[in-house]
Amino acid sequence: MPIYAIEDLHPVVDPTAFVHPTATLIGDVIIGANCYVGPGASLRGDFGRIVMHKGANIQDNCVAHSFPNQDCIVEEDGHIGHGAVLHGCTIGRNALVGMNSVIMDKAIIGADSLVAACSFVKGNFTCPPRSLIAGTPAAIKRTLSDKEVEWKTNGTQEYQHLSTRCHSSLQEVEALTTVQDQRPRFIQSTHSPKTKN
């Protein structure tokens, strides 16, 4: 995978984390235990520090960056959806940033909150825990229910499990030229194909 030091700062990746081979890590990036970084993600620690705490995920084609002396932080069990952009912000414990959302400098997304897909969160925005945030610019819409927080937590656990699955079975292969008979499907994340082709 493309991992680059800049000056004297090398990225740090916990051995239990999974970083896809097409993700790029530059400089002052710290990735904690059981994290997942998806294909095409760019974590550019060439000005400010980027930190992913235990169990967090940053999915496909996300960008994380910051200004000097300012950290971009995804706290424990934070969940960053496909294509999101984080710039110098803090995503609270067990919070979710929806696909293609943008979270700007010094914004703080409270624990157990959910930022709706395609939202734009202005700099210096702060929300309390368990908030539903949506819009352009984003605003607090309401408090999340226990069921909604549980749904989010379960989704993040799937990505934590995906890190383990990738460590044990992800491999670069040649594509098949035809679909095999009785091709298996992923019914659930714990799926283990009985046949291997």
CATH of the domain at 50: 2.160.10.10
Tally the domains of the chain: 1
Tens digits of residue pLDDT in 95-125: 999 999 999 999 999 999 999 999 999 999 9
In a domain, 162, yes or no: no
CA torsion sign for 39, 88, 56, 83 is negative
- Kindly tell me if the per-residue pLDDT of 54 is higher than 60: yes
Closest residue by Cα to residue 18 from 173, 191, 162: 162
137 preceded by a cis bond (ω within 30 of 0): yes
Question: Which residues is 130 bridged to in the sheet?
Answer: none
Tens digits of residue pLDDT in 129-165: 999 999 999 999 999 999 999 999 999 999 999 999 9
In a domain, 27, yes or no: yes
What is the extent of the structural domain holding 109? Answer: 3-143
In a domain, 25, yes or no: yes
Query: What pTM value is reported for the model?
Result: 0.92
Tens digits of residue pLDDT in 55-82: 999 999 999 999 999 999 999 999 999 9
